[in-house]
């Protein structure tokens, strides 16, 4: 009788459908995280405009403005691989809380230095490094934190919604940053105060996540990953780098994205200098750059359409479009010309971000995922310091239009080389839902 009962129970259990995850709109953990990350992304976007404007006002040197961004990128690179280890070993939510608190403190000190008249270039460079380190550590943890509250089948939908965060902040941030910097109160410290408060808002959202419902259950046909044994390093700090480098398609894709990111790292600085030479007000400069981000919002619904192309073909097509846009940005037709061109190039960015998630992050072993994310972020950003510093030096000695044409030519050469990689043309989407 006992065996019959057990068999019947097993049969009934097998027939019971797996618990369905909550729809994203009702998943309060995901939505709370999304609101917090939106706030911090908006704060970073405001600061990305305010810092160059402050340095240009202080030193009148585009090279030093580029040096600030380069130091921030170096901080991100230095913390890249260690951030992956931290994300794999420790609670992602606590990492986000700690890093947001640290970034708020650093930005708050910049506000104090401005108000008291003690802000100097060395202070700004130290702040740049610390903010870059915080961005790297928070970035890896935040990606894993989102995955902990969203089921695998909802990832593409969640990432598409996340594009609204990224591009909405990029749309509003530059215009808001330029407008806030124009306020003379508190010695132009208002945009930095806004950024510090945005980090505190992200910290509060990470705290509130613990009390919000919505953790997504693991599907029945995808058992949870076995946690690594104590002392198991899962391949060590370089595990993510080896995972990427040992796969030809991922290696070629990372190389192409890294090259595009290197050239594009200083693009906003070049645009700021070009428009300033045309006597465009700072608020209008921020608005022109921000309006380009509307292309990212318009591109989010195009993700599924563009993913009908092979992944390598999609990467190369967007990169070639980027070369054309760089060349056209050298034409001095004013801020709305810049806004229109930036809108066009941003249309393909959401599809590329989701492509990277599908090709790389979802294929990584769960116990190494934090290190794979960190390795990818490090490889993509490897040339950013050189790109930022190089743009600053170009602008120091050349007119903005000439510098932009040089960037376009260099970009064209790099994309042409990557286009010779057969593995990119032959790359296919992995099996399974996308």
The domain segmentation of the chain, as residue ranges, is 26-215+234-426
DSSP 24-42: GGG-HHHHHHHHHHHHHHH
User: Splitting the chain (434 residues) into consecutive groups of 10 residues, what average pLDDT does each group show?
Assistant: 42 47 79 89 89 85 81 87 87 92 94 88 92 91 86 80 78 80 80 94 91 54 40 64 81 85 83 84 77 80 86 91 92 88 88 83 79 82 78 83 90 90 84 60
Question: Residue 193 has what pLDDT?
Answer: 93
Residue 390 has what DSSP assignment?
H
Rounded Cα gap, residues 391 and 385, in angstroms: 10
Residue 390 CB-density burial (10 A; 0-12 exposed, 13-18 middle, 19+ buried): buried
Computed over every residue of the chain, the mean pLDDT equals 81
Residue 286, helix vs strand vs coil: helix
pLDDT value of position 150: 83
Task: Please state the CATH superfamily assignment of the domain spanning residues 26-215+234-426 in this structure.
Answer: MFS general substrate transporter like domains (1.20.1250.20)
* CB burial readout 202-232, b (16+ within 10 A) else e: bbbbbbebeebebbbeeeeeeeeeeeeeeee
Exposed/middle/buried for residue 355 (C-beta within 10 Å: 0-12, 13-18, 19+):
buried
Tokens 């032959």 sit on residue:
426
pLDDT at 232: 43
The whole-angstrom separation of Cα 55 and Cα 107 is 15
* Segment 178-194, tens digit of pLDDT: 888 888 777 688 999 99
CB burial string 148-176: b at 16+ within 10 A, e below = ebbbeebbbebbbbbbbbbbbbbbbbbbb
3-state secondary structure of 6: helix
User: CA-to-CA distance for 166 and 184, rounded, in angstroms?
Assistant: 29
Length of the chain: 434
Tokens of 67: 């040096």
Cα–Cα distance for residue pair 280/174, rounded to 1 Å: 14
Half-sphere exposure of 150 (CA within 13 A, CB side): 24
Residue 89 is predicted with a pLDDT of: 87
Tell the burial category of 372 from Cβ atoms under 10 Å away from its Cβ (0-12, 13-18, 19+): buried
Cα separation, 21 vs 34, whole angstroms: 17
pLDDT of res. 99: 95
Report pLDDT for 215.
53
């Amino acid at each position: 009788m006992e065996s019959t009962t057990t068999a019947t129970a097993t049969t009934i259990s097998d027939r019971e459908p797996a618990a369905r995850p909550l729809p994203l709109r009702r998943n309060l953990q995901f939505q709370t995280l999304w609101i917090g990350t939106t706030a911090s992304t908006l704060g970073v976007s405001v600061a990305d405009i305010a810092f160059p404007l402050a340095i240009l006002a202080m030193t009148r040197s585009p090279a030093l403005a580029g040096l600030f961004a380069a130091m921030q990128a170096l901080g991100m690179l230095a913390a890249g691989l260690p951030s992956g280890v931290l994300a794999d070993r420790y609670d992602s939510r606590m990492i986000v809380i700690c890093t947001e608190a640290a970034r708020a403190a650093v930005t708050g000190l910049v506000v104090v230095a401005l108000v008291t008249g003690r802000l100097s270039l060395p202070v700004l460079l130290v702040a740049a490094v610390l903010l870059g380190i915080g961005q790297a550590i928070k970035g890896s943890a935040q990606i894993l934190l989102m995955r902990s509250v969203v089921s695998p089948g909802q990832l593409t939908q969640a990432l598409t919604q996340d594009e609204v965060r990224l591009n909405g902040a990029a749309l509003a941030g530059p215009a808001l940053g330029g407008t806030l910097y124009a306020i003379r109160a508190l010695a132009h410290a208002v945009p930095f105060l806004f950024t510090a408060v945005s980090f505190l808002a992200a910290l509060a959202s990470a705290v509130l996540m613990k009390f919000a419902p919505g953790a997504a259950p693991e599907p029945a046909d995808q058992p949870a990953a076995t946690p690594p044994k104590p002392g198991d390093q899962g391949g060590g700090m370089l595990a993510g780098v080896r995972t990427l480098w040992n796969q030809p398609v991922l290696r070629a894709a990372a190389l192409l994205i890294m090259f595009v990111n290197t050239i594009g790292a200083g693009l906003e600085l070049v645009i700021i200098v070009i428009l300033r030479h045309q006597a465009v007000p700072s608020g209008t400069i921020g608005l022109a750059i921000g309006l380009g981000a509307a292309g990212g919002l318009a591109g989010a619904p195009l993700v599924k359409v563009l993913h009908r192309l092979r992944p390598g073909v999609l990467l190369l097509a967007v990169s070639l479009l980027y070369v054309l846009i760089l060349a056209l940005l050298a034409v001095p037709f004013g801020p709305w010309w810049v806004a229109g061109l930036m809108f066009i190039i941003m249309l393909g960015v959401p599809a590329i971000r989701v492509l990277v998630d599908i090709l790389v992050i979802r294929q990584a072993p769960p116990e190494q995922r934090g290190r794979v994310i960190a390795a990818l972020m490090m490889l993509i950003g490897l040339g950013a310091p050189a790109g930022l510093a190089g743009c600053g030096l170009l602008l120091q000695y050349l007119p903005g239009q000439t510098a932009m044409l040089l960037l376009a030519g260099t970009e064209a050469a790099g994309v042409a080389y990557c286009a010779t990689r057969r593995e990119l043309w032959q790359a296919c989407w992995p099996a399974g839902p996308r």
